[in-house]
Structure 1
Amino acid sequence: MRVYLPSTLPALARVVAAGELGPAPLNGFAVTPALVEWYASGDTEELEYVALTEAARASLRLLAAGQEEGAARRVVLAAEVPDETVKAGAGLKERAHVRVVEPVPLKLLAAVHVDDPAAVPDVEAAIAALPAADAGDDDARFVVDGVEDHELLWYATQEIPDLLS
């Protein structure tokens, strides 16, 4: 199953150093039955884009929580994990939200999606606006939603060292 795992550039560097993403459980996003039911007219590619977008929002929250230092660029790791390691459903907020119950070895990463450096000012603005947006401020929500105008760039796994340098 393709799972989109929110991350940051420093966290990606740790994944490379450790050889895996963990510890489990890991929050991720995927094409779940709830997402398929909600987005009934979408094909697989559209549904995967929704899951990727949700993971990018979660990456923004990692950046906003200050859990990671470094450039304000959203990062999403796309991994092909065994179906039996993915749990969806009860207790998860978003339709695409899943939990991966085992660490994800680096060899299961299929791609990395990262903001272009040109997106950094908008990502920083979204991070600053996030508390007000969560409190219901429509103007702040507009700023946070606006970061999604930036498409994440796709990187093959063999490009990770160049991305991190």
Structure 2
Amino acid sequence: MKLTYFVTILPALVAAQEQEAKNVYGQPLQPCSSDGMALSGYTRSGYCVNKDDDLGSHHICIDVSSTSGGNFCKVTRQPDWCSSTMPCHEGSGLCPVQDWCVCQWAFASYIHNAGGCNHIQNIKCDAVNMHALEAYKRDGRYQEAYKCISQKCGLSSVQVEI
């Protein structure tokens, strides 16, 4: 009975979280993935939101297909899922991974290991969850990531009121 309840209520909880989530501009969070690309998000909803068991906090939306910067998978020494195909955002079949919600902690190391903010792949700012910016701001070890998102997304200290 409990499992049935959980499976029934989970989609509603994820949908509510998506509607309440804010992006780095303080606006409603936009989807990371879209038609023609693989369905992104830890919850595979297209949004960079998470559930309690998402220890990676997959809040940062980057275009892993962009040609600027180093390949996220290679730089972070992960298996090359960046060049793979997965179930499509809309419809059936497999689509290429393109705009993808990456772990905010891996993203911080990505910036450092790629040689700085100017050497990373494109960020989709309207789909970056404000929780990442909040976490980076709270912890001095992640100031490089905080500054990079602020720079890439055109945030001033006035706009980034957390």
Sort the TM-score into its range (normalised by shorter chain): under 0.3
More helix by share: 1
Normalised TM-score (structure 1): 0.26
